[in-house]
Structure 1
Amino acid sequence: MRKHAVLITVLFALTVTLVSVSVVFWKFFQLNKQNYINNIFTKHAIITQIYQQHQQKVDSQIMLEANLAVYNFVLEKDEKDIEIVLKNAKILKKKDFQNVNSSLLFSGNGFYTKQIVTDLTATMLEFNRKIYFYLQSPSSSVLILDEELKPYKYWNVAYSYLVIIFIISVSFVLILRKLRPLIRLRKKIALYGDGDMNVSFKANGHDEIALVSNELEATREKINLILESRTLFLRNIMHELKTPIAKGTIATQMLESQKQKDRFSSIFGRLESLVNEFALIEEVTCMGDKTDFKEYRLVDIIDGAIDMAMIERSSITVEVDAVHKINANFRLYTTAIKNMIDNGIKYSIDSHVKILIKGHELAFESRGECIAHPLQYYIEPFTKDNPSKNSFGLGLYLVDSILKAHNQVLAHEYENGINRFIFA
């Protein structure tokens, strides 16, 4: 999920925006519709006035119809139609009124005014896309149709909503299209990190992503040029060094003094070992292509390392089952184990190393004092505890470099007089 964090963020923003706009438009639609109904109800208060006057004056139904016709209102008279409308219509608004009827009466005390208050209920209905007004009083009721009035039309709001949703969707599609080069760029960077030195970051365009891609392309070319120059320089240096070392080794055999012969043989031998270790370091640090990595049994790699170390089998105890396998470069991983064997025998008090699997990890145990410095000190090049030891201080540095190329790290722990180095 972390790989697509930007894409997920954009999609989340799109979802939140669409939901927010939808909620706002829904609320606006409800409010607008209610305002429309309220305005109609208020404007059609004349219907209630006409009906109230009809009740007060006790006019005929013909007079009521005539008064309603002036405003294009139609009085529904068919009982079946009235029943259907009242049963199936949707109530839009309902309001109660009080009708006050004043009458002048005579009694023994003279004339007096009598007021009769009658409750009146007005209901606005919608049925078959027509608007009706149903007026009820305790004594009678009427259903009135407005022939000109139409129900609320929501198309204007829906059209505006769809236009805005379309604009937002198109905007986010354009954003996602702009992010596609970024996704491709990430994949190319991953390929370059895996060792494909010929991958091209070049991009067309003048936006920020294209500028970053072109800068990466220029940087890639510079890095490749530096790596090629470095590789060529190191290989030439090592080749030029091997020639005089070989000549010096041959010339050493011509010396008459055995003491001088042994001294020069040791010097040229150390020089040759140093050049070989430099060659391994150059190979490890420049290794990007892992096509030569294959699956091997750990016991086979350990046997190869023991043979390379040229030590007695009695100095090694191996407790590794044949079922344990690893995907590795055989020669480099063998060299790493060989260096650990040499290091363990050299610094142990009994010249013995035990190789075992501890917690699904390869471990090397040897008896001796705990290392004097943190492990990080020893994996730096040309560092060692005892300068008198026959070493260049590159052993653990080379081991650490090989393990990093295999996506592993070197760890150390000390327990009950045992130094334990672990390939974790």
Structure 2
Amino acid sequence: MKRHAVLLTVLFALTVTLLSVSYIFWEFYQLNYKRYVNNIFNKHSIITQLFHEYQQNRTSIAIFEANLAIYNMAVVSEKDNELILKKGKVLKVDGEKKTDSTYFFSKDMVYKQNVTSNIKTTMLQYKRSIYFHINSDVGTIMIIDNTLKPYKPWNLLSGYVSIISIIVISFMLILQRLRPLIRLFQRIALFGAGNLDVSFKVKGSDEIAVIANELESARIKINSMLEARTLFLRNIMHELKTPIAKGTIATQMLDSQKQRDRFTSIFGRLETIVNDFAMIEEVTSLTCTQEFSEYRLVDIIDGAIDISMVEHEHIDVDVPASVKMNTNYRLYTTAIKNMIDNAMKYSPDKHIKIVMKEEELCFESNGEKLKYPLSFYIEPFTKESPSKNSFGLGLYLVDSILKAHKQVLAYEYENGVNRFIFARDS
């Protein structure tokens, strides 16, 4: 999800915007609809007044219908009345009381009698027409208003569609502008995986194009430096091997055995360093990942024991034969071989145990605890004291090989046992 954070943010913003606009328009529609219903419901006061006069026998049915016709209204038949009440949609209901005064005369005074009647008015919508149903204590009547039509939100709907379309198109344009960023991310991933020939060049002058073209310039410079570095290392190692070979041969011509042994050790050390440099150059050249294959871990350990030339009785291996890993065989074998060499060099009993614990490969040997943190020893040519014995490039090379395999070198000390661990990189 983190890889698509920008895209998800844009989509979230689009969703929130659409929901907000839709909610606002819905509230606006509700308000307009309510206002429209209230406005047309005001007509019921005229209808109620006319019906009340008719009800009190002040007017005949003919005059009542004529008065309704003036307002473009008509009485609905009883048959349609029941159908409209059953299937019509109630828009609004209102009830009121009407009071009529009747006067009685006698010799001495005038009597006044007030008669109150309840009138309930219901406005309904049925088949795109507006009806008013009036119910009183005396009777009921259904009246259709031919001038009124149901509320039509076409103007509001067209405005809503227009605004939503503008928002969607705007966000689509934003996503379209982000597409080069996605392609740039894919190319950077390829470059990080070791494809140094991938091109970042992009046509255009916007911010993404400027960044991509700057990355292309940086890629060209990095390739040039890598090529120069590789050429330098290979040439210097080639030039060093020749005098080392000559010096090794010349050493055998010395008369003194002590001097012969000393120079043989010196030239052997130089050859080991040159070989380590060659291995480091291969690990850091970003091409070794193409040579990964699946191997049994016990086979890799056996190969490391063979090239370390250590007797098998000095090494205990407790690794299940079923454990497999995807690795560069030669590099990983070298890493294990260096761990065996360190144990043979610094362990008093010259014994090492290779064991699998919680899916991590451990190298255990007796000895004194390291004086400094492990990070001190994985630097090249690290030594605790100016003695001939040092970690040199050994642990540095192991650390570099493990990083190429997405692993790290860890260290523990417990009850007089040094434990180096090939742990998974978190």
TM-score range, shorter chain: over 0.9
1-structure distance, mates of 2:402, 2:291: 15
Aligned to 2:373: 374
2-structure distance, mates of 1:258, 1:79: 134
1:69 aligns with 2:65: no
Aligned residue identity for 1:247: K
Is the partner of 1:290 in helix, strand or coil? Answer: helix
Aligned to 1:13: 13
Uncovered stretches (5+) of structure 1, i.e. residues with no partner:
none
1-structure distance, mates of 2:288, 2:196: 9
Aligned residue identity for 1:69: A
1-structure distance, mates of 2:146, 2:169: 43
Is the partner of 1:291 in helix, strand or coil? Answer: helix
Alignment of 1:239-388 (within 5 A): 239-388=238-387
Is the partner of 2:291 in helix, strand or coil? Answer: coil
2-structure distance, mates of 1:260, 1:292: 43
Check conservation: 2:55, 2:138, Cα contact below 8 A.
Answer: no
Is the partner of 1:115 in helix, strand or coil? Answer: strand
Aligned-residue offset at 1:352: 0.9
Aligned residue identity for 1:299: V
2-structure distance, mates of 1:339, 1:81: 101
Aligned residue identity for 1:407: K
1:210 aligns with 2:235: no
Is the partner of 2:42 in helix, strand or coil? Answer: helix
2-structure distance, mates of 1:44, 1:191: 76
Aligned-residue offset at 1:57: 5.2
TM-score (norm 2): 0.94
Number of aligned residues: 423
Cα deviation, 1:205-224, whole Å, max 9, x if unaligned, reads 22222222111111111111
Check conservation: 2:97, 2:119, Cα contact below 8 A.
Answer: yes
1:114 aligns with 2:88: no
Q: Which moved more, 1:370-379 or 1:309-318?
A: 309-318
Aligned-residue offset at 1:108: 4.8
Is the partner of 1:142 in helix, strand or coil? Answer: strand
Aligned to 2:23: 23
Aligned-residue offset at 1:199: 0.9
2-structure distance, mates of 1:141, 1:287: 94
Uncovered stretches (5+) of structure 2, i.e. residues with no partner:
none
Aligned to 2:34: 34
Check conservation: 1:195, 1:289, Cα contact below 8 A.
Answer: no
2-structure distance, mates of 1:9, 1:46: 57
2-structure distance, mates of 1:330, 1:410: 18
Is the partner of 2:371 in helix, strand or coil? Answer: coil
Alignment of 1:137-148 (within 5 A): 137-148=136-147
1-structure distance, mates of 2:213, 2:199: 9
Is the partner of 2:63 in helix, strand or coil? Answer: helix
TM-score (norm 1): 0.95
2-structure distance, mates of 1:297, 1:405: 18
Aligned residue identity for 2:109: G
Aligned to 2:415: 416
> Among the aligned pairs, what percent are the same residue?
61
Summarize the Cα distance change of 1:109–1:129 in structure 2 as closer, same or farther, 3 Å threshold. Answer: same
Aligned-residue offset at 1:253: 3.0
Aligned-residue offset at 1:130: 0.8
Aligned-residue offset at 1:43: 4.2
Aligned to 1:128: 127
Cα deviation, 1:276-331, whole Å, max 9, x if unaligned, reads 11111111122345121111112221122112112222222222232122211111
Cα deviation, 1:237-291, whole Å, max 9, x if unaligned, reads 1122222222222333333444433333322222222111111111112234512
Alignment of 1:185-200 (within 5 A): 185-200=184-199
2-structure distance, mates of 1:267, 1:349: 24
Aligned residue identity for 2:48: T
Aligned to 1:236: 235
1-structure distance, mates of 2:2, 2:408: 24
Aligned to 1:58: 58
C-alpha RMSD of matched pairs (Å): 1.8
Aligned to 1:407: 406
